[in-house]
Chains A and B, each alone.
Chain A
Amino acid sequence: MQGMYAVYRKELGHYFVSPMAYVVIGIFILFCAFVFNYDTQAVILQSTQAQMQGMSMPMDLPGQVIQGFFMFLATMLLFVTPMLTMGIYAEERKRGTMELLMTSPITEIQIVLGKFFAAFTLFIAMLIPTLVPVTFLYFTSDPHMPVRIIACGYLGAILVGGSLIALGTFISSLTENQLIAAVLTFAVFLIIWIIDILGSPTGNSATVLGYFSVVRHFQDFARGVIDTSSLVYFASLMVFFVFLTVRSVDSMRWRRA
């Protein structure tokens, strides 16, 4: 436990002593603010157009804004998480510090979990500033939009982020090259993001592949619905890739020529 905490602390500190964390978080917030603004305007425009055309269907404007915002947030994670995870092992192997970790009295699981939770913590810290526009939306909507929807959206984002981080750390443990790790991570993310389009639209394959698609599972959360199967899906992704990372780190002892 002490070993894991030490790795966690070191790793988290590492994000903040290098410009990496600031750059990634800064860009992320900038985009979020921009999209929130655009999203709100688009929804308002849509509703005024509907009114002018004399359609008197009730519209859930804040609900539409928040749903669009969360979908965008999840898409941003595709680009942001590879940057958080690419160096996590690749860098360590290149510098030779893996040799220090692996000859210290800590287990591979402690190393892997310490690093995973550090990236996860940074990711959650990154989400916090996005609460600002969301809180604004909450207070300006009348009646106030349900907190449940906001909470669901964030839970979904955290689960997606966690899964992507687990996958990203695994890929980083396979190579010494950060760039290869980042590109490969992004490619794999993209595939599991849109895996359902690989199936034929009429057959059963699309339904089956749909279960593996991150975006399908996330859509429920963005609408404010918690589906148990989605919870299981994200939890299994995280556990599976953390497990693979442990095996991969363990195998470094044998792989090194």
Chain B
Amino acid sequence: MIEVKDLTKSYGQITAVDHISFGVNKGEILGFLGPNGAGKTTTMRILTGFMPATSGTASIAGFDVTNESLEVRRHIGYLPEAPPVYPDMSVESYLDFVARIKNVPAEKRRGRVDDAMAKTNLTDRRHELIKRLSRGYKQRVGIAQALVHDPDVIILDEPTVGLDPKQIIEVRHLIKSLAGNHTIILSTHILPEVSMTCDRVVIINKGRVAAVDTPQNLTSQLKGGLRVRVEARAPEAALKDLLVKVPGVKIVQIEGAHNDGHMIAMVEGTQGKDIRSEIAAGIVGKGWPLYELRGVSMSLEDIFLQLTTDDASHAQPAN
């Protein structure tokens, strides 16, 4: 449905998007994940025909975004970073206007507007002026606007920004319910959002694609087993010795001492075995004061950080 190849966008000296390539299948939800300024918005703007790429190609529904922009625009619904609403219009008349400029035929317009309002829970606010709505409601109007003409492809730039937790859940449900009939690209810098809603993730950093995979694969890729952070007052060598001997422990990494003499160690165990109780028993058995014993789970967050932090900072051990 969407094919992006070697897409590049530079603003003078700065390259915002650097040879990005990925594809999205029909009915799929693709998450676009990256820190602020990674090039997510720029990529989406190129896809929607809002700005041209410096080089590379992108096509939506078989149409090239640069040469057949009008045709592409017929097939997409787009929610920019800030909902593009007119504050002086009512919800209903605004959606009617959007339906008109999106070429919805007159006889279908009424139904489509009602439908979009129903999907985004705006029906009871239909006559309200958009400027009187709260941030969350405005965002919903923005989403409704992207749906109103029932497009094949929906591109959402940070759709849950500014919503309260309840609304975020509603919007995620809405997005999930749209998949299948629509192909969706959504960008976010919130990690749980991706694992909850997306079929596939493109992690993008500094204008480059850092990884493309399913959220599950990405998480399992780096998830060795349970990791435990140990903080105890103990001699370094003796502590390492003890931890290595605990059954089920794979790797022990002493991270050094605090200035108050607390030794910190990261211990990685084999999958499916809880090593915490034995570590605790071992340390206490030696008579060392144990200050902290904490399980550290590898999440998408760690993967994300690993993929998006500089090589330079990788060279030095974290903490």
> Interface of A with B (CB < 8 Å)?
2-3, 5-7, 9-10, 13-14, 17-18, 95-107, 253-254, 256-257
Contacts and interface: CB of A to CB of B under 8 A. Distances in A.
A97 B88 contact: no
Given A95-B84, A95-B86, A103-B78, 16 more contacts: A3-B103, A5-B100, A6-B100, A14-B89, A95-B85, A96-B81, A97-B84, A97-B86, A99-B50, A100-B78, A100-B145, A102-B49, A103-B50, A105-B71, A107-B70, A253-B51
B227 interface: no
Contacts of B98: 100, 104
B86 A99 contact: no
B73 A2 contact: no
B86 A2 contact: no
A210 B49 CA distance: 45
20 contacts: A3-B100, A3-B101, A6-B101, A7-B101, A9-B97, A9-B100, A10-B86, A13-B89, A14-B88, A95-B84, A95-B85, A95-B86, A95-B87, A97-B85, A99-B45, A99-B78, A100-B84, A103-B50, A105-B71, A257-B11
A7 B98 CA distance: 10
Interface of B: 11, 45, 48-52, 70-71, 73-74, 76, 78, 80-82, 84-89, 93, 97-98, 100-103, 145
A14 B94 CA distance: 11
B73 A104 contact: yes
Contact of B86 (A14, A104, A254): A14
A5 B103 CA distance: 11
A13 B93 contact: yes
Which of A3, A13, A97, A254 lies at the interface centre, i.e. has the most chain B CB atoms within 10 A of its CB? A97
Contacts of B88: 14, 17-18
B101 A101 contact: yes
Which of A97, A99, A256, A257 lies at the interface centre, i.e. has the most chain B CB atoms within 10 A of its CB? A99
A14 B85 CA distance: 12
Contacts of B52: 253-254
Which of B45, B86, B101 lies at the interface centre, i.e. has the most chain A CB atoms within 10 A of its CB? B101
B97 A10 contact: yes
B85 A103 contact: no
A103 B100 contact: no
Contacts of B100: 2-3, 5-6, 9
B82 A96 contact: yes
A2 B74 CA distance: 14
Contacts of B89: 10, 13-14, 17
